[in-house]
Chain A
Amino acid sequence: MLSFILRRVFYTVPIMLGVSLVCFALVHISPGDPLVSILPPDASVELQEQMMAIYGFDRSYPEQFLRWLGLALQGDLGNSIATGRPVASEVFNAVGNTLILAVTATIIGFTLGGLFGFVAGYFRDSWIDKLATAISVIGVSVPHYWLGMVMVIIFSVELRWLPATGAGPGGSSQWVWDWEHMQYLILPAVTMSVIPMGIVARTVRALVADILQQEFVSGLRAKGLLDRGVLAHVIKNAAPTALAVMGLQLGYLLGGSILIETVFSWPGTGFLLGQAIFQRDLPLLQGTILVLAMFFVVLNLLVDVAQTSLDPRLQRG
């Protein structure tokens, strides 16, 4: 097991290198001149060249990449072109906010999704199953930015129960776990939780239904286990696959949904990415994508390790 973990950690090094190369390349392939947004339209050629030199855009791509990578390894992602502030602090600030939102949404989504899926799979073809399946299909197919707007209209505009946008009185960097702040979290978190809820519910339902069909469940009943004993076996068998799906979903949510964070003006990574793209803020864009990709890689690593420790059949490979 330990050797597996070490090997798996070692594998992430080339993956991370590849990811950073892709981040860099993607941003440079995309159209648009980063300096257009900060230079006046009538800027002289000398000024343009001066600015290019300051940001390092005048050098060759490999040189730019290596320099960027070297600095990134030291925790320096450069400065934002639009605001001049260090990208690293901007990104980590946003990641913190997105974590609050994504983890809350994940807890809601996984709990409900797992519950619906389990009940639906356990009582397959009953009315409970049909209800749970309907809810999960709606969850997967409803456009969530639309759902977000509907929620704002109902709960903020009509009922005036909850605030519509922002992250509370502390702005983007001062989060506190009190009602003052948490009331801002409810609407975006609930909206965001709908997607993983649907996907997790469908996965868990299929898993549970499949496991219950297997002969060893007959074997468990044949040796006299009560329902709750059988249930424990079903859960342990379903856990590895369910966990993998949940890990991926958490990864997507950590990327921050641009649409949801934009609808609710939540100062997270999605919101930041949106800004960076529209302002052609290359360092900010690169840095944000890189940090998110790294999160994804690490998350996958954790899921792999957890999955392997749960399913003994995976330890051989």
Chain B
Amino acid sequence: MTPFRSPNDTPLVRVRDLSVRFAGTPPVHAVNSVSFDLAPGEVLGILGESGSGKSVTLKTLLRLLPERKTRITGQVEVDGQDVLALQGRALADHRGGVASMIFQDPSLALDPVYTIGQQIAETVIRHDGLSKSDAMARALEMLEIVRIPSAKRRLANYPHEMSGGMRQRAMIALALACRPKLLLADEPTTALDATVQIQILLLLRDLQKELGMGVIFVTHDIGVAVEVSDRLAVMYAGSFVETGSVKDVIRDARHPYSKGLLAANLVGAAPGTRLDAVPGAPPPLNALPEGCSFAPRCAHAETACSMSPLPIWNGGNGRWARCVQASCLGALADAESTS
């Protein structure tokens, strides 16, 4: 299968054929042979609805899934290290040192009985071996970097004493405190107010440019994904169905699911008209259909859709879609835009 190639030859993240199963009867196929590369300093947006496996993919990169109930196969390399083989201290060094994570809801992801300063300093002490006062100085510096006003005072605040946006800024400061090469953002703006969302988004984009780390940004919001990403991957039922540069995917989506997501956007829709929502619901992950998982909901489905493995349409330059009709769907779009 053609993986999603980044232009750079030594990728920061290299994922091949990653599959994640959760124990159960029948087992849940949360992620199904996902492959992609991420170049240093590149931003990849993973777009998908709830339960499509995007968060699970992200958590696998930090090995945060419960070990006893999870079976991970495939290859995951971050910065040349085989993440799936890491154990004990080496794994802990990887987490927060090489790759760190911003969680969806900062009010749940920060420890309620430790101050923000303590929580950031703790990470710095753990990874960089700084003294307590040096670590606090670094924490202060981080709060200033994420533009928290009166940072010095905020250092002694507990999470419940801050607003949602401030908490997410603190979470970002925490994640970036040890200068990771890879930042994993798990819907970092979903739990925030709309006005705060855009601030956090802009902050993340600026910080990424400033610090130059690679970012994998998971979201279900196309607008958000377009705003921050260099490349997009559309995920459905645990698989990547289409990838490419943001421009290509938005202008010329080849997979019917990506097209459906774009059509269901509120922007530009006339008031009072029905949105072009994708009919039906995703298949249960413990009983995926043979071949294309989207076929049962797809207007263009045909008998070829149930064959396995599915043919991959390759658009060159890391652009591909996992759909039988990708090439003619593109032609269809061309015809529509010229008419």
Contacts and interface: CB of A to CB of B under 8 A. Distances in A.
Interface of A: 214-216, 218-226, 229, 233, 236-237, 240, 310-313
B22 to A, nearest CB: 16
Closest 4 CB pairs of A and B: A224-B96, A223-B96, A224-B95, A215-B108
8 contacts: A218-B64, A221-B95, A222-B95, A222-B101, A225-B122, A226-B126, A312-B160, A312-B161
A216 B111 contact: yes
Interface of B: 62, 64, 89, 92-97, 100-101, 103, 105, 108-115, 122-123, 126-127, 158, 160-161, 174-175, 178
Contacts of B92: 221, 224-226
A240 B113 CA distance: 10
B224 to A, nearest CB: 21
Contacts of B161: 312
Contact of B109 (A218, A226, A233, A312): A218
Contacts of A233: 111, 114
Contact of B103 (A218, A229, A237, A311): A218
Most buried by A among B89, B111, B160: B111
Contacts of A219: 101, 103, 109-111
Contacts of B158: 312-313
A233 B123 CA distance: 13
Contacts of B123: 223-225
B62 to A, nearest CB: 6
Contact of A224 (B97, B105, B111, B114): B97
A223 B95 contact: yes
A215 B319 CA distance: 35
Contacts of B113: 236-237, 240, 310-313
A312 B118 CA distance: 14
Given A222-B100, A223-B100, A233-B114, A214 B126 contact: no
A112 B149 CA distance: 47
A224 B99 CA distance: 10
Nearest to B68: A125
Given A216-B111, A224-B123, A240-B113, 16 more contacts: A215-B103, A216-B108, A216-B112, A218-B109, A219-B110, A222-B62, A223-B100, A224-B93, A224-B97, A224-B178, A226-B89, A226-B92, A233-B114, A237-B111, A313-B112, A313-B113
B96 to A, nearest CB: 3
Nearest to A312: B158
B160 A313 contact: yes
Contacts of A310: 113
Most buried by B among A215, A224, A229, A313: A224
B160 A229 contact: no
A215 B114 CA distance: 15
Contact of B64 (A214, A222, A240, A313): A222
Contacts of A313: 112-113, 158, 160
A248 to B, nearest CB: 21
B190 to A, nearest CB: 14
Nearest to A310: B113
Nearest to B62: A222
Nearest to B97: A224
Contacts of A236: 113-114
Contacts of B97: 224
Contact of A229 (B109, B112, B126): B126
Nearest to B124: A223
A225 B124 CA distance: 10
Given A221-B64, A229-B122, A215 B95 contact: no
Nearest to A223: B96
Most buried by B among A216, A222, A236: A222
B126 A216 contact: no
Contacts of B178: 224
A225 B108 CA distance: 17
Contacts of B95: 221-224
B118 to A, nearest CB: 10
A237 B122 contact: no
